[in-house]
Structure 1
Amino acid sequence: MKTIIFDMDGTLLSTEAMYMQSLIQTFKDRGIEKSYEEVYKVFGLPSLDSLIKLEAPEPEKMQLEWQNHYPDFWYEVKVFPGINKMLSGLKVNDFTLGIVTSNTKEEFMENTSQFDFPKYFEDFVFAGETPKMKPAADPILKSLNDLQAVPQSSMYIGDSIHDMQAAHNAGIKFGMAAWGVRDRKVFDNQADYIFEEPQELYDFVINDK
């Protein structure tokens, strides 16, 4: 592998609780009760798509309301253990790194401002920059093109079935970031690789180089 493209939420950053709790609160503000399990089903999708899938009233307005609640639960966001060491090691060993995320650029900047992730990556693809987002191939294909990467030596790392579908639709291998996955059964054994922790991913690509 020479090119590794990462998802952000649930892969590099533990953001699940922040997004889900703020979404629950957004529904509650409108008198609608949603359980954590209900809203978790849309985790990993772009925010507007998530609301539409959940049949939210006025999804465009609720998207803004949801985003306004992020800071209320910011204390929930953490970098997964071992991520910075892994990214630093990959960078030093001349791997080409990119990010494909369902966040808008504004969401990404807010969510990552204290973690200094941009120094590791050469390309970023955000929500709204391609005709379709994950699980369609478009954002990964854009990243491959931006990075001038060869699909056969590229891999996408993510934590959701939408990530896996996007990778396979783009014709590249998918590595499951198992450290951010709650339920592996939904992948139906279709992940090309499963990495239990960031160090395992690092060791794999170093040996495969």
Structure 2
Amino acid sequence: MAYQTILFDIDNTLINSANLIATTLQKGAAAEGVDVPLAEYRKRIGRPGDDILKEFGVKNWQKVLDGYMVEFAKNMHELSYFPGIEALIVNLRKLGIQTGVVTSKDRVQFDAETKYFPLIAEAEIVTTSDLTSEPKPSGEPLLYTLQANHLDREQTLYVGDSVFDMQAAANAQMDFAGASWGALAGGREFDQAKYVLARPDDLLKLI
């Protein structure tokens, strides 16, 4: 399939960030008396933080989320691209492939994090969670991205690490590639994926 546009999730697809997200959310919730194992947070990475906190019964979720933003910002300098991601993005752009991100971060979170990741900040297409009423796993963020950027659905591929990314692509009737380098179960959960990628450069073979 000749794709003209590649859209990426960010956390644990481009950036190795899931552990920092999970531990920071867990710490904030525990301070409010909600003690949930770290693994349960890790399973839900890919959804907005407020959704995760509400699911776990955190009543003061906005307070926790505000504290999370401060704590996460303090530690963002420790984050890094997954090996091969920088070369992948550069090579896609050299090939004339349009790249973008569709993320569960809102615009404030996106701008803060991508100060450390200019390749992501320079993406031609950016869809943050505050642009749509329904987050992933709804297909709305991807459908919004297609419409707002006049993209051909058949020539657009979404790449993500979680089952929520896969479900969003399925709901938008888009092709999906599982990024198994960041996936919790090593890609075994990607039963609806058109492709399962072992390494970032495997994506170039689809172009």
TM-score w.r.t. length of structure 2: 0.92
Give the equivalent residue in structure 2 for 1:82: 84
Q: Is the 8 A contact 1:155 1:174 kept in 2?
A: yes
| Partner deviation per Cα, 1:67-99 (whole Å, 9 max, x = no partner) | 222134435411001111110111111111111
Unaligned stretches of 5+ residues in structure 1: none
**1:45 partner amino acid:** R
Unaligned stretches of 5+ residues in structure 2: none
Give the equivalent residue in structure 2 for 1:190: 192
| Partner deviation per Cα, 1:96-145 (whole Å, 9 max, x = no partner) | 11110000111111112112024652111101211211111111111112
Q: Following superposition of structure 1 onto structure 2, how do residues 1-209 of structure 1 map, counting pairs within 5 Å?
A: 1-118=3-120, 120-183=122-185, 184-187=187-190, 189-205=191-207
**1:65 partner amino acid:** G
**1:198 partner amino acid:** P
Cα distance in 2 for partners of 1:53, 1:41 equals: 13
Cα distance in 2 for partners of 1:92, 1:120 equals: 14
TM-score w.r.t. length of structure 1: 0.91
RMSD: 1.6
SS at match of 2:131: coil
More divergent stretch after superposition (25-34 vs 41-50): 25-34
Q: CA deviation at 1:19?
A: 0.4
Q: CA deviation at 1:56?
A: 1.1
SS at match of 1:79: coil
